[in-house]
Amino acid sequence: MLPSTFVPVCAKCSTQSQGLVSVRGDATTNVCRTCHGKFTFKIPTVKFLAISASTLAAPSAGPVKKAEKLGLHAGTPLPERGACAHYRKSYRWFRFSCCNRVHPCDRCHDDAEGHVNEWASRMVCGWCSREQRYSPDACGFCGRSVIGRKGRGFWEGGKGTRDRTLMSRKDPRKHKRVGGGESSKKD
């Protein structure tokens, strides 16, 4: 029997948890050191296969998919930080589950592939080139925003700028309730 090393990965933040020891049939519960989420690692069964000269033939399970060569190196940014012509402020690429290929956006996928895209469950950060689970606004590894600036100094229903010093002078909320003092009503 050859020694095997299993490295469990957190389902929330894709962080590897080194040093977990598990015995067949026993569940090992641990807490992620990055996102503090609880996870369980279990090896339910172990099967041994006898390998002989006659069984070394190539498996006939179908054609083997060739791995996609992206030429990315972890820690270096993507070309143009992952932005494309359709979404200039999106600093990430998506791995689409329909074809398991990486494209900058859904429109780029539809232009390059001959089928309609499905929801992308994984993304590649444009700042550090690390593949991870989809996150709506920040990278789980480097922590940088993958969606550019949301607003340019306007209130935007409370989701934009709230700091009045940074707010645009054209936004009416910048000057609301300024001055205080006497009320305009007279008794």
Total number of domains in the chain:
2
Is position 160 within any domain? no
pLDDT in the model for residue 125: 93
Is position 182 within any domain? no
CA distance 90 to 19: 36
- Could you tell me if 83 and 127 lie in one domain? yes
- Could you tell me if 84 and 128 lie in one domain? yes
Q: pLDDT tens across 30-70, in order? A: 888 888 888 887 878 877 777 776 655 555 665 666 667 77
The DSSP letter of residue 112 is: H
pLDDT in the model for residue 184: 64
Q: Which residues pair with 131 in a beta bridge?
A: 124
Residue among 69, 30, 141 at smallest CA distance from 133: 141
pLDDT in the model for residue 62: 59
Is position 179 within any domain? no
- φ/ψ region of 101 (left if φ > 0, alpha if ψ in -120 to 50, else beta) reads beta
Is position 99 within any domain? yes
* Average confidence (pLDDT) over 62-84: 79
Is position 2 within any domain? no
pLDDT in the model for residue 73: 85
Q: What is the domain range of residue 34?
A: 7-46
pLDDT higher at 77 or 40: 77
How many C-beta neighbours within 10 Å does residue 104 have? 23
Is position 124 within any domain? yes
How many C-beta neighbours within 10 Å does residue 79 have? 13
Q: pLDDT tens across 125-176, in order? A: 999 999 999 988 888 899 888 887 656 777 777 777 878 888 888 888 888 8
Confidence of residue 123 (pLDDT cuts 50, 70, 90): very high
Q: Tell me the DSSP string of 45-107.
A: --------GGGGSPP-SSPPPPPP-----TTSPPGGGG--SS-TT--EEEEETTTTEEESSHH
Is position 54 within any domain? no
Confidence of residue 93 (pLDDT cuts 50, 70, 90): very high
pLDDT in the model for residue 158: 72
Using DSSP's 3-state secondary structure scheme, residue 10 falls into coil
Is position 61 within any domain? no
